[in-house]
A and B are shown apart, each in its own frame.
Chain A
Amino acid sequence: MDRPPVVALNEVSKSFGAVRALSGVSLQLLPGEAHALLGENGAGKSTLIKTLAGVHRPDAGQVLVDGSSRRFSGPADALAAGIAIIYQEPTLFGDLSVAENVFMGRQPLGFGRRIDVASMHARTAELFSRLGVRLDPARPARGLSIADQQLVEIAKALSFDARVIVMDEPTAALSAHEVQRLFGVVRALRDQDAAVLFVSHRLDEVFALCQRATVLRDGEFVWSGELSGETPDSLVRRMVGRELSQLFPKQDTAAGEVLLSVQRLTREGVFTDVSFDVRAGEIVALSGLVGAGRSEVARAVFGIDRPDGGSVHVRGRKLKYGSPTAAMAAGIGFVPEDRRQQGLVMDASIERNTALASLSRLSTFGLLRRSSERALAQDWAVKLRLKFARLSDPVGVLSGGNQQKVVLAKWLARKPSVLIVDEPTRGIDVGTKAEVHRLLSELAGQGVAVLMISSELPEVLGMADRVLVMHEGRLVEELSRDEATEERVALAAAGQVAR
């Protein structure tokens, strides 16, 4: 006999204006079980999570806690019901200490209901040791990497012994090692009878962790059942409703002249003596664990951060230090890791965002022509098969995959000769991912030099002509496409290079 669900959604519907985000979706979370929520971006996963979180109130249907219907009037109610949510985008307070972030609103109290800081720090340290990470509980949250921020969020969920833990893409920013740690903790929680709802685009993780899955497509319930009889292919078919072609289609292209040359680039305390070339038509992957300094190298090459030593040449001409303007003028495009914060102006329209890097070309005597902005955006929206309602909609309403297409369009509109992409497919659904891969491959075919940073090994191995591996701020290994295997890259990333 099955045990009753801790939390269940019963025929829940939710609309935003004319857009139907969820229609009649049901879901049951059982104690001691990890449940995967699957679907492409825009399928309604986020809306479902926010309904569980008490952020959205359903238009129809019920949220059941222990079998009885509940109306959450806000996130506090959901928290009180024992539902902890780990959002995809970390929601930390940068000015406050890590420990306060973990215990906000639930700080341990001492004499006279005053916060007992020592005990708060001790308990935070204890949570971190359960997660196997070393973070000073007293340091401010500001300045933490995305992976570390994610770990703080996870510690927060652990801190109140939640009965239901919802994780929205918790592993997107984590390295393989951190993912294993996290899974260990999640399994332990599950064995202590917590219900886990796990959202991920990485199907291998889903199979490693979950017993049951629910698939959504376009806001509708598609399928729910045991994972034991399923394969990744069968799940993908349910998510997209069609067969997928091969995921990583990089074609071989003859490498041309060196377009980007980085020599002994150093930024103190971040990375040291990094040298590499990228040729026309090549895709070079920069691999390594989170925190190895990959994104930091990319930022320095593009001139966002000022290096302390070394040089960057584009087509043989030396770039000025610390100037993105100079990097852009030299033909570099940069698709950053964090598209919401760094890649896009979320409140601005699709056309504004697309045109953002091409403003001088689109204006006459310093005045921007609206019509040319629109024409440019229209052109690229078609080329990249962007899904949108109107070009004047804020880019924030698009799904993650479509947002990434807008970032790409912004740079492609400048016809770059060097394109740096940092985690180009993070948090993007399978279908769009394949499109992004095809696009990068096409660009390389057209003679663009592509430098790709990625934490996904299959992506690295499938797409890259060469793989550079970083470990603790240094380039430790260079592998050709034939040499690169999952094992060799992982070993080098862990600092185990046979010399």
Chain B
Amino acid sequence: MTAATAVATRGTAARRLSNRVGRVRELGIVVALALVVIPTAIVNPRFIQPQSLRDLLLNASIVALLAVGQTLVVVTRNVDLSVGSVLGLSAFLTAQQFADHPGTPLLAGIGFGVVVGLACGLLNGLLVALGNVPSLVVTLGTLYVFRGIDYALAQGRQVNAANLPDALLDLGSSRILGIPILVLVTVVVIAVAAVYLRSYRSGRELYAIGSNPEAATLAGIPVAKRTLTTFVLSGLIAGLAGALWVARYGTVDAAAGTGLELQVVAAVVVGGVAIFGGSGTVAGAALGALLLGTITSCLVVLQIPAFWQQAIAGALLLSAITVDRLLALRLAKALRKTEGTSHA
């Protein structure tokens, strides 16, 4: 009897440990945030004034939004490198739509940007899921294709805030209960995606696909359909982010969002999403985006030269991967020790 009880408790210990490791991952980012914010605030107390904190959240919210879409894709063992270009294309087309047709209702204009992103995501998804081309290759290609279309359409022009409706610009600057609307939109998207990934069958199937693609097929999971869906969702979210980009910055040219994809992938990895799929949360990825954004702001406040900022962001990425690896090794060892069943 004692042996059986011991095994049961050991199995439970394994579960607790793996839960704790998951939580430690997100807690770790919060601790890291504190570690960068507190010293900066001591050097420059203005850094933690409400306006400054709001800017912090605002700046991070677009990357965080893209990181949510990216998480859906990465969890299935794929990657979407085209998000920066999709955002750029959507931003320019949305701005042009508002500028050329002054009567466009706010939601219709934003919806237009979302549809542009959705179309881009659909192309990515079809090539990956039906063409069986690795997503790294497909989205590296479409990164250039979408940006090229963007440049071709813009022909060197840019859309200025003066040509945009006030309703749109208000969206970028106004607040509800002191919180910027853009941040609220991002939080809603995070919450919806988090619930989807945690509690819906098709959401769980994304983890299954990333964890063991072959087994997913044998389990009857429609792998191609789910993969297609994640790329469509990633594109759709990038399209939304493009429209919000217009609202936030007011001035848009064809270069909007260039290079953003790497920040997004970095945020996802720092946020604890396994780059080979199967695990990670959107909340973690969004926190990762916030951490990267905060570090950049802190370095500016601390007047550290710009090129150091990139080196530090890179170092952070490496340390995040190191921490992940160490945690994974510890967990594997612990799971091995608690392995085994007892037979009554």
Question: What residues of A have a CB within 8 angstroms of the CB of B217 in the complex?
Answer: 55, 74-75
CB of B337 to closest CB in A, whole Å? 4
Question: CB distance B200 to A115 under 8 Å?
Answer: yes
Question: CB distance A105 to B341 under 8 Å?
Answer: no
Verify if A114 is at the interface (C-beta below 8 Å from B): yes
Interface set, chain A 99-157, CB cutoff 8 A to B: 100, 104-105, 107, 109, 113-115, 132-136, 138-140, 142-145, 147-148, 151
Interface set, chain B 82-141, CB cutoff 8 A to A: none
Verify if B231 is at the interface (C-beta below 8 Å from A): no
Question: What residues of A have a CB within 8 angstroms of the CB of B4 in the complex?
Answer: 134
Interface set, chain B 263-321, CB cutoff 8 A to A: 274, 278-279
Question: What residues of A have a CB within 8 angstroms of the CB of B325 in the complex?
Answer: none
| Docked complex Cα distance between A96 and B206 (Å) | 11
Verify if B251 is at the interface (C-beta below 8 Å from A): no
Verify if A243 is at the interface (C-beta below 8 Å from B): no
Taking a contact as CB atoms closer than 8 A, the residue among B207, B218, B342 that contacts A75 in the complex is: B218
Question: CB distance A79 to B201 under 8 Å?
Answer: no
Measured CB to CB, the nearest residue on chain A to B341 is A133
Contact status of A92 and B337, CB under 8 A, knowing A79-B220, A136-B15, A142-B332: no
Contact status of A105 and B201, CB under 8 A, knowing A94-B212, A96-B207: yes
> Main SS of the interface on chain B?
helix
| Docked complex Cα distance between A76 and B220 (Å) | 4
Verify if A431 is at the interface (C-beta below 8 Å from B): no
Contact status of A139 and B11, CB under 8 A, knowing A96-B211, A113-B200: yes
Question: What residues of A have a CB within 8 angstroms of the CB of B201 in the complex?
Answer: 105, 107, 109, 115
Contact status of A87 and B343, CB under 8 A, knowing A95-B210, A113-B200, A140-B18: no
| Bitwise interface map of B from 216 to 232 toward A, beta carbon under 8 Å scored 1, else 0 | 11111110000000000
Interface set, chain A 179-205, CB cutoff 8 A to B: 181
Interface set, chain A 65-110, CB cutoff 8 A to B: 74-80, 85, 87, 91-97, 100, 104-105, 107, 109
Measured CB to CB, the nearest residue on chain A to B195 is A114
| Docked complex Cα distance between A96 and B201 (Å) | 13
Measured CB to CB, the nearest residue on chain B to A80 is B220
Question: CB distance B341 to A104 under 8 Å?
Answer: no
Question: CB distance B339 to A136 under 8 Å?
Answer: no
Question: CB distance A134 to B8 under 8 Å?
Answer: yes
Q: How large is the interface on B (under 10, 10 to 19, 20 to 34, 35 or more residues)?
A: 35 or more
Verify if B208 is at the interface (C-beta below 8 Å from A): yes
Measured CB to CB, the nearest residue on chain A to B209 is A93
Measured CB to CB, the nearest residue on chain B to A135 is B341
Question: CB distance A139 to B18 under 8 Å?
Answer: yes
Question: CB distance A76 to B222 under 8 Å?
Answer: yes
| Docked complex Cα distance between A133 and B14 (Å) | 16
Verify if B52 is at the interface (C-beta below 8 Å from A): no
Question: CB distance A93 to B212 under 8 Å?
Answer: yes
Q: How large is the interface on A (under 10, 10 to 19, 20 to 34, 35 or more residues)?
A: 35 or more
Contact status of A133 and B218, CB under 8 A, knowing A95-B207, A143-B332: no
Question: CB distance B218 to A139 under 8 Å?
Answer: no
| Docked complex Cα distance between A136 and B9 (Å) | 9
Verify if B38 is at the interface (C-beta below 8 Å from A): no
Question: CB distance B221 to A104 under 8 Å?
Answer: yes
Taking a contact as CB atoms closer than 8 A, the residue among A78, A93, A115, A145 that contacts B207 in the complex is: A93
Measured CB to CB, the nearest residue on chain B to A140 is B18
| Bitwise interface map of B from 44 to 82 toward A, beta carbon under 8 Å scored 1, else 0 | 000000000000000000000000000000000000000
| Docked complex Cα distance between A178 and B339 (Å) | 16
| Docked complex Cα distance between A143 and B200 (Å) | 26
Question: What residues of A have a CB within 8 angstroms of the CB of B11 in the complex?
Answer: 134-136, 139
Question: What residues of B have a CB within 8 angstroms of the CB of A143 in the complex?
Answer: 14, 332, 335-336, 338-339
Question: CB distance B211 to A104 under 8 Å?
Answer: no
Verify if A269 is at the interface (C-beta below 8 Å from B): yes
| Docked complex Cα distance between A177 and B342 (Å) | 11
Verify if B344 is at the interface (C-beta below 8 Å from A): yes
| Docked complex Cα distance between A105 and B207 (Å) | 12
Question: What residues of B have a CB within 8 angstroms of the CB of A139 in the complex?
Answer: 11, 14-15, 18, 335, 338
Taking a contact as CB atoms closer than 8 A, the residue among B218, B274, B344 that contacts A132 in the complex is: B344
Verify if A291 is at the interface (C-beta below 8 Å from B): yes
Question: CB distance B343 to A181 under 8 Å?
Answer: yes
Question: What residues of B have a CB within 8 angstroms of the CB of A386 in the complex?
Answer: none
CB of B308 to closest CB in A, whole Å? 36
CB of A94 to closest CB in B, whole Å? 6
CB of A7 to closest CB in B, whole Å? 17
Question: What residues of A have a CB within 8 angstroms of the CB of B148 in the complex?
Answer: none
Verify if A434 is at the interface (C-beta below 8 Å from B): no
Taking a contact as CB atoms closer than 8 A, the residue among B199, B205, B337, B339 that contacts A148 in the complex is: B339
Verify if A397 is at the interface (C-beta below 8 Å from B): no
Question: What residues of A have a CB within 8 angstroms of the CB of B220 in the complex?
Answer: 74-80, 105
Measured CB to CB, the nearest residue on chain B to A290 is B340
Question: What residues of A have a CB within 8 angstroms of the CB of B218 in the complex?
Answer: 53, 55, 75, 85, 87, 91
Taking a contact as CB atoms closer than 8 A, the residue among A78, A114, A134, A135 that contacts B200 in the complex is: A114
| Docked complex Cα distance between A148 and B216 (Å) | 19
Measured CB to CB, the nearest residue on chain A to B8 is A134
Question: CB distance A104 to B208 under 8 Å?
Answer: yes
Question: CB distance B204 to A107 under 8 Å?
Answer: yes
Question: What residues of A have a CB within 8 angstroms of the CB of B344 in the complex?
Answer: 132, 134
CB of A142 to closest CB in B, whole Å? 6
Question: CB distance B219 to A96 under 8 Å?
Answer: no
Verify if B215 is at the interface (C-beta below 8 Å from A): yes
CB of A79 to closest CB in B, whole Å? 5
Question: CB distance A177 to B221 under 8 Å?
Answer: no
Contact status of A134 and B14, CB under 8 A, knowing A93-B212, A181-B343: no
| Docked complex Cα distance between A291 and B217 (Å) | 30
Question: What residues of B have a CB within 8 angstroms of the CB of A76 in the complex?
Answer: 220-222
Taking a contact as CB atoms closer than 8 A, the residue among B214, B216, B336, B343 that contacts A270 in the complex is: B336
Interface set, chain B 160-181, CB cutoff 8 A to A: none
| Docked complex Cα distance between A471 and B328 (Å) | 29
Interface centre among A74, A114, A134 (most CB of B within 10 A): A134
| Docked complex Cα distance between A66 and B228 (Å) | 35
Question: What residues of A have a CB within 8 angstroms of the CB of B33 in the complex?
Answer: none
Question: CB distance A114 to B205 under 8 Å?
Answer: no
Verify if B322 is at the interface (C-beta below 8 Å from A): no
Question: CB distance A134 to B332 under 8 Å?
Answer: no
Question: CB distance B221 to A105 under 8 Å?
Answer: yes
Question: What residues of B have a CB within 8 angstroms of the CB of A92 in the complex?
Answer: 212, 215
| Docked complex Cα distance between A103 and B110 (Å) | 39
Verify if B37 is at the interface (C-beta below 8 Å from A): no
Question: CB distance A177 to B219 under 8 Å?
Answer: no
Verify if B158 is at the interface (C-beta below 8 Å from A): no
CB of B146 to closest CB in A, whole Å? 32
| Docked complex Cα distance between A74 and B224 (Å) | 12
Question: CB distance B222 to A140 under 8 Å?
Answer: no
13 intermolecular pairs with C-beta atoms under 8 Å apart: A76-B221, A78-B220, A79-B220, A95-B211, A104-B204, A105-B219, A115-B199, A132-B343, A136-B8, A139-B338, A143-B338, A181-B343, A291-B340
**Taking beta carbons and an 8 Å cutoff, which residues of B are in contact with A?**
4, 7-8, 11-12, 14-15, 18, 195, 199-201, 204-205, 207-208, 210-212, 214-222, 274, 278-279, 332, 335-344
Q: Given contact pairs A107-B204, A132-B344, enumerate 12 new A-B contacts (beta carbons under 8 Å).
A: A76-B222, A87-B218, A91-B214, A91-B219, A95-B274, A104-B204, A105-B219, A115-B199, A133-B343, A138-B15, A143-B336, A268-B337
Closest 5 CB pairs of A and B: A143-B335, A76-B220, A136-B11, A91-B215, A95-B278
